[in-house]
Amino acid sequence: MSKLDAKIPEGSIDQKWTKYKSSVALVNPANKRNLEIIIVGSGLAGASAAAALAELGYKVKVFYFQDSPRRAHSIAAQGGINAAKNYTNDGDSVHRLFYDTIKGGDYRAREGNVHRLAEVSNNIIDQCVAQGVPFAREYGGLLSNRSFGGTQVERTFYAAGQTGQQLLLGAYSAMQRQVGSGKIESFSRHEMLDIVMIDGKCRGIIARDLVTGKLERHFGHSVLLCTGGYGNVFFLSTNAMGSNATAVWKAHKKGAYFGNPCFTQIHPTCIPVSGDHQSKLTLMSESLRNDGRIWVPKLKEDAEAIRTGKKRAVQLSEEERDYYLERRYPAFGNLVPRDVASRAAKERCDAGYGVNKTGEAVYLDFTFNTKRYGRTEATKKGIHNPSEDEIVRLGKDVIKEKYGNLFDMYKQITGVDPYEEPMQIYPAVHYTMGGLWVDYNLMTTVPGLYALGEANFSDHGANRLGASALMQGLADGYFVIPYTIGAYLSKEIAVKAIPTDHEAFVEAEKNVQERIDKLLNIKGTKTVDHFHKKLGKIMWDKCGMGRNEKHLKEAIDEIRALRAEFWKDLRVTGTADDLNPELEKAGRVADFLELGELMCMDAVNRNESCGGHFREEYQTEEGEAKRDDDNFAYVATWEYKGGENNFELHKEELIYENIKIAQRSYK
């Protein structure tokens, strides 16, 4: 029997959640005090879940590898958070948000979960404002909205370019309030290294105190993984250096199925790689595409001249430039969704039109709009027949006001002044839509083990829309898990806390210790980063923006070989009983080396192109993604079967009762 019961409640789509909430089993307050919940990760999902569950009276323990819960990478989200408030009176509704999210995900997300997400989106904004999150406001004192890719309404709430920071600090404050009142125990610089299973249920974790190196056993009636995505499989990504997949991967190996591992979001506007020393990639907000035009030279010779420094971008006339997005997608132009824009950039660069030393960059040029703004300003100021210089000067002031901080950031990183030269950008790994498979309750296939936020697979299908990640993290933590966890815990009230000298804990700790010892005892010659970079290159070249069967199969072989080499020739300095960043990295890369392979396997299996997953064999004549709804309208869910590279595919059919499936077109 397949375990894949999504447990979607009966009833019409707009009644499912309401009915569920009023009928789900409850836990009375006295019993809540005896139920312990472990939360791993302190980002939007983790911190909000910790706060909400502690407020309800559960005993909560939170684990995070950074020094403070406020460091979690949710903090880096720039753009905003969606909600169906319709404050702008432009026709938004819960249904529309639901529809846009399903469509944006290229029809590979589950209707029930996404509708619930759209329903609670409004509560998130209310909750955050009540917490004192300083969203941007209009002069009248009410909240301001802006538009984002893939939608036709303005539903994005924001706090300058630091929305993620402000939302996370809100959730962090709520969590710290419970820490202060003693209801949450907070474990900084602790990394979860395994889950503990007792009688088929998840009953705790093994965590390593990263400062002392000591392994600790922690019991919980249930465990919530809120550990984010696995974009760092690619080594270079917009993720934080510490972002990792270890928690979800350990859970996967203990029985939690992995959903759609190959669905990766590549963000089109990042600062290109500058050299081998590069450690991470920096995102330039999507909002820049509102005023920037993307181009490469029309002639290869010009591209070549620019790459070798013989020509500068500004020397090319309008006729010598190829605004390829505007050419290919006249309707949406530079504002096509992320997956489309990224692929188009790759296509041009692969064809030899890239513009930086590595040949992997395109221009994001503000000249046109600078001048447009300049002329408007001149008119406003009553300057007749302004000179070209005057127009540019006035226009620059407008651009500076709108994007000043981003331009400064760009200059800081590249050393090039984007007011003088067009920006160079290139796509980079940004987000992973795949993750642990969860049912409507957010429970994985392991009883008692939940996955929230980016760590699960549920809401974004094959492509995530901008400003939806923050929404999902907080929805899961504040408004979903507090209800759905009752369905499980209400049956656990008779279970007393299990002492951590139980054999399952002893066994799990022993396994973790053995693995640590193994890593330290290879005593080879190559560093962790050496292997991580190699893995990243394989993944980026063969399981990145464009994929095909041949490359993916090669990638699988290469990863297997690399993994074998890793376990033979890795060098980890230092000891286990000390703060040892090399050891931490080694454990994470060891897991990436397994997950990377599964991603490729999933990509081979999915013989279609959808969202961020582009299989070169499956494209239209114009080079657009070709979906295959007859054969692939399912969640590819992988079960670990023990041993090496032994995974079994299960399928959760996706049934669309409320949305008519259609081809996405941005022409």
Partner 1 sequence: MSGNMNITLKVWRQKNSNAKGELAEYKVGDVSPDMSFLEMFDVLNERLVSENNEPIAFDHDCREGICGMCSMFINGRPHGPKEGITTCQLHMRSFKDGDTIVVEPWRAQAFPVIKDLIVDRTAFDRIIAAGGYISVNTGNAQDANNIAISKDNADEAFAAAACIGCGACVAACKNASAMLFVSAKVSQLALLPQGQPEKQTRVLSMVAQMDAEGFGACTNTGACEAECPKGISLKNIARMNREYLGAQLCSEKM
Beta bridge partners of 402: none
**Cα gap 346→301, rounded to integer Å:** 18
| Contact by Cβ (8 Å): 222, 256 | no
Listed residue (513, 644, 474, 627) closest to 120, CA to CA: 474
The sheet with strand 258-259 has its strands ordered as: 435-436, 258-259, 634-640, 647-653
Q: Which is nearer to partner 1, 71 or 534 (CB)?
A: 71
d(CA 101, CA 466): 10
| Owner of token pair 């239209």 | 620
CB of 173 to partner 1, least distance (A): 4
Instruction: Return the closest-CA partner of residue 649 out of 257, 264, 262.
Output: 257
> Pick the catalytic residue: 96, 155, 203, 338?
338
Q: Which is nearer to partner 1, 304 or 529 (CB)?
A: 529
What is the arrangement of strands in the sheet containing 156-157, beginning at the earlier edge strand? 81-82, 156-157, 145-146
**Beta sheet of 321-322, edge-to-edge order:** 264-270, 423-432, 362-365, 293-297, 321-322
Q: Least separation, in Å, of the C-beta of 547 and partner 1? A: 27
Please, what's the b/e burial string for 465-504 (b: 16 or more CB within 10 A of its CB; e: otherwise)? bbbbbbbbbbbbbbbbbbbbbbbbbeebeebeebebebeb
Output the smallest distance, CB 437 to partner 1, in A: 26
Q: How far is the CB of 176 from partner 1 (least distance, A)?
A: 4
Tally of CA atoms within 13 A in the half-sphere of 641 that contains its CB: 9
> Closer to partner 1 at the Cβ: 283 or 341?
283
Inter-CA distances, 250 with 61, 243, 321, 333, 471, Å: 19, 15, 50, 43, 26
Shorter beta-carbon distance to partner 1: residue 158 or 640: 158
Contact residues for 297 (Cβ-Cβ < 8 A; gap 6+) = 303, 306, 316, 320, 321, 322, 353, 355
Q: Is 338 a catalytic residue?
A: yes
Least distance from partner 1 to the Cβ atom of residue 85, Å: 7
- Select 393 or 571, whichever has its Cβ closest to partner 1: 571
Length of the chain (residues): 667
**340 in Cβ contact with 324 (< 8 Å):** no
Of 162 and 287, CB closest to partner 1: 162
- Kindly tell me which of 337 and 477 has the beta carbon lying closer to partner 1: 477
Count how many Cα atoms sit within 13 Å of the Cα of residue 102 in the half-sphere of its side chain.
26
Please enumerate, as own/partner, the contacts of 556-561 that have beta carbons within 8 Å and a separation of 24 or more: 556/597, 556/600, 556/601, 556/604, 556/645, 559/535, 559/593, 559/596, 559/597, 559/600, 560/597, 560/645
Cβ proximity to partner 1: between 204 and 229 the closer is: 229
Structure tokens at 234: 């690619």
CB of 485 to partner 1, least distance (A): 13
Task: Supply the minimum distance, in Å, between the C-beta of residue 279 and partner 1.
Answer: 5
Longest dimension (CA), the chain: 85
Choose between 105 and 477: whose C-beta lies nearer to partner 1.
477
* Catalytic residue set: 338
